[in-house]
Amino acid sequence: MSPEAPTAPGLLAVDLGLRSGLALYGQDGRLRWYRSQNFGSPSRLKRAVPAVLHSAGPLAWLVLEGGGPIAEVWEREALRRALPVLRVSAQDWRARLLYAREQRSGGVAKDAAGVLARRVIDWSGAPRPTSLRHDAAEAVLLGLWGALEVGWLAQVPPEVRR
């Protein structure tokens, strides 16, 4: 799950929080890498965001799930870089990727996200996780939603669908 320097601009999906999930997608709509990162405090997050964006390589899009002060930190840095941002709520991306029965509660949705994220990881040829934290799994699916939204994928790949 270590980041690699991409050649073409990618899409970085961030499941926001002091512990954030991160997932980078290529323009082919495939996942390049994913991870969970614990920033620990708002001040450490604020200092780390520029480095995270830089290490992701050239970016065409930043996709954020959530809002509030943490989202504002990411958006300010994206604005400084002239990087377009898509913000979405968990309910919106889940509605596109999960069945209604999988969205009845947050816990059920997180479990379903883990299963679907593993399918995306396999389809993309990304390294398989030994364990997959909820924030990383949700970032993987948030990135898939983003790839669909920006037109890098026309539909959810059949290998990922259940």
pLDDT score at 107: 84
CA atoms of 81 and 78, how far apart (whole Å): 5
Q: Pick the closest to residue 34 from 145, 148, 117 (CA basis).
A: 117
Helix (H, G, I), strand (E, B) or coil at 23: strand
User: Which CA distances in Å does 135 have to 58, 60, 94, 151, 153?
Assistant: 23, 22, 14, 24, 23
Mean pLDDT, all residues of the chain:
91
| For residues 67-85, average pLDDT | 96
Helical (H) or strand (E) element with 118? helix 106-124
User: Domain limits of the chain?
Assistant: 10-149
Enter the CATH code of domain 10-149: 3.30.420.10
pLDDT, one tens digit per residue, over 119-139 is 999 999 998 887 889 899 999
**Is the pLDDT confidence value at 3 over 60?**
no
Band the pLDDT of 162: cuts 50, 70, 90: low
**Is the pLDDT confidence value at 69 over 50?**
yes
pTM: 0.92
Determine what percent of the chain is predicted with pLDDT higher than 90. Answer: 71
pLDDT, one tens digit per residue, over 80-121 is 999 999 999 988 998 899 888 888 888 888 888 889 999 999
